[in-house]
């Protein structure tokens, strides 16, 4: 049992909070004053501490640099209407981190360690949580192997860290996406369902090619036949076809998104018809051609809800209707924001007060 009450706190001697301009927050470039660290040594998590945000010294032979033994999570903290700092479903992130850990031969991070480290860090850096609409404090927990060893085996020692950064919108306008049918992100039996660093590194080259063609993101298809929609580069993806909300089921190749689950839960509570089943590329293309694809959008922590403006497939482009207040994606985003800020009652226990 880990005694999380022993978290050692070293406060920064000079805060950088004056660098935070809530009217101009670049995504992922400005980091808060402190970071949480715990080390896994001799079979246990120990030396829990919060220290000033700073660079680290690592060995050139550190196993993660060579073999990508690393996993991560992403969540956000917000200010509610009362000015309190809250986070959205962090226990779900703690649980999913351990799903990734098991697949990558990384020791489990106890939920108490995850939650207490998160809580104490957010308490200390609460001034960094912006309050303007569309802003948040992005929270990045991650684990990596620290052995000084060049050899293909699991690391014996690890480090768990949490860093935070204030953010604005991930996408500033509806996105253009390309359905990818040549490159693959994941295969059954692989690590596609885990938030493992190597998955994202492997996606960068195809994404760059798409960006050179004017797209913001890819929609990945299955690695075997490229006949079925899987997920987007930073998000799960959903389609409204003939009034039915459709999305691929989570599997060994698709990340079990927490925002995804939240959106589907709300949709079902609203009495909408929801279908979690394989979605064929041909179905989406036909629906787009025939005007039956009413909306498409990505769902994820970074973007929350990202409306899709254009879908590219092979040599064709399909422009979708501009999202207005009647669209489900707009309504569900408003509902999620209202739950986080306390404007509506949190009936599902999703909001965690710091």
Q: Is 3 a residue whose pLDDT tops 90? A: no
> Average of pLDDT values for 327-350?
95
> Per the domain annotation, does 204 fall within a domain?
yes
Q: What Cα–Cα distance (Å) separates residue 13 from each residue in 34, 51, 197, 335, 347?
A: 11, 11, 33, 40, 41
> 244 and 127: one domain?
no
> Average of pLDDT values for 30-47?
98
> 91 and 191: one domain?
no
Among residues 167, 192, 219, the one where a domain terminates is 167
> 217 and 139: one domain?
no
> 79 and 180: one domain?
no
> Per the domain annotation, does 352 fall within a domain?
no
Q: Is the pTM of this model over 0.85?
A: yes
Residue 31 C-beta-side C-alpha neighbours within 13 Å: 13
Among residues 149, 167, 185, the one where a domain terminates is 167
> 138 and 185: one domain?
no
User: Coil, strand, or helix at residue 4?
Assistant: helix
> Per the domain annotation, does 64 fall within a domain?
yes
- Counting Cβ atoms within 10 Å, is residue 157 exposed (0-12), middle (13-18) or buried (19+)? middle
CATH code: domain of residue 319: 3.20.10.10
Q: What residues make up the domain containing 147? A: 4-167
> 179 and 152: one domain?
no
Note the pLDDT tens digit of each residue in 48-82: 999 999 999 999 999 999 999 999 999 999 999 89
> 205 and 135: one domain?
no
Say how far apart CA 284 and CA 264 lie, in whole Å: 19
> 92 and 241: one domain?
no
Report pLDDT for 233. 82
Among residues 167, 199, 229, the one where a domain terminates is 167
End-to-end CA distance of the chain, in Å? 23
Number of domains in the chain: 2
> Average of pLDDT values for 220-241?
95
Beta bridge partners of 162: 36, 141
Res. 5 pLDDT band, cuts 50 70 90: confident
> 77 and 141: one domain?
yes
> 185 and 249: one domain?
yes
> Average of pLDDT values for 207-226?
96
Note the pLDDT tens digit of each residue in 277-323: 999 999 999 999 999 999 999 999 988 999 999 999 999 999 999 88
Q: Count CB neighbours of 310 within 10 A.
A: 18
Report pLDDT for 273. 98
> 184 and 163: one domain?
no
């Amino acid at each position: 049992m880990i005694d999380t009450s022993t978290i050692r706190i070293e406060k920064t001697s000079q805060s950088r909070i004056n660098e935070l301009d809530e009217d101009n927050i670049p995504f992922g470039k400005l980091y808060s004053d402190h970071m949480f660290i715990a080390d896994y040594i001799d079979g246990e998590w120990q030396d829990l501490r919060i220290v000033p945000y700073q660079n680290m010294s690592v060995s050139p032979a550190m196993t993660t640099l060579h073999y990508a033994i690393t996993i991560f999570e992403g969540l956000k903290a917000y200010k509610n209407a009362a000015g309190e700092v809250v986070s959205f479903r962090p226990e779900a992130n703690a649980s999913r981190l351990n799903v990734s850990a098991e697949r990558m031969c990384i020791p489990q991070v106890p939920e108490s360690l995850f939650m207490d480290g998160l809580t104490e860090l957010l308490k200390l850096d609460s001034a960094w949580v912006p309050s303007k609409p569309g802003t948040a404090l992005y929270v990045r927990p991650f684990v990596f192997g620290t052995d000084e060893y060049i050899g293909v085996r699991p690391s014996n020692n690890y480090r768990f860290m949490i860093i935070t950064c204030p953010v604005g919108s991930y996408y500033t306008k509806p996105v253009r996406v390309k359905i990818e049918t040549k490159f693959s992100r994941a295969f059954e039996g692989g690590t596609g369902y885990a938030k493992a660093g190597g998955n994202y590194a492997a996606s960068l080259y195809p994404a760059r090619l798409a960006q050179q063609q004017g797209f913001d993101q890819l929609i990945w298809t299955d690695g075997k036949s490229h006949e079925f929609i899987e997920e987007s580069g930073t998000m799960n993806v959903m389609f409204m076809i003939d009034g039915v909300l459709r999305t691929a089921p989570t599997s060994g190749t698709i990340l079990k998104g927490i925002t995804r689950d939240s959106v589907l839960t709300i949709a079902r509570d609203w009495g909408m018809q929801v279908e979690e089943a394989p979605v064929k590329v041909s179905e989406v293309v036909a629906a787009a051609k025939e005007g039956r694809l009413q909306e498409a959008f990505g769902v994820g922590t970074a973007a929350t809800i990202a409306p899709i403006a254009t879908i590219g497939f092979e040599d064709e482009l399909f422009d979708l209707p501009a999202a207005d207040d009647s669209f489900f994606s707009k309504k569900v985003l408003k509902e999620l924001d209202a739950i986080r800020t306390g404007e509506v009652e949190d009936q599902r226990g999703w909001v965690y007060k710091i």
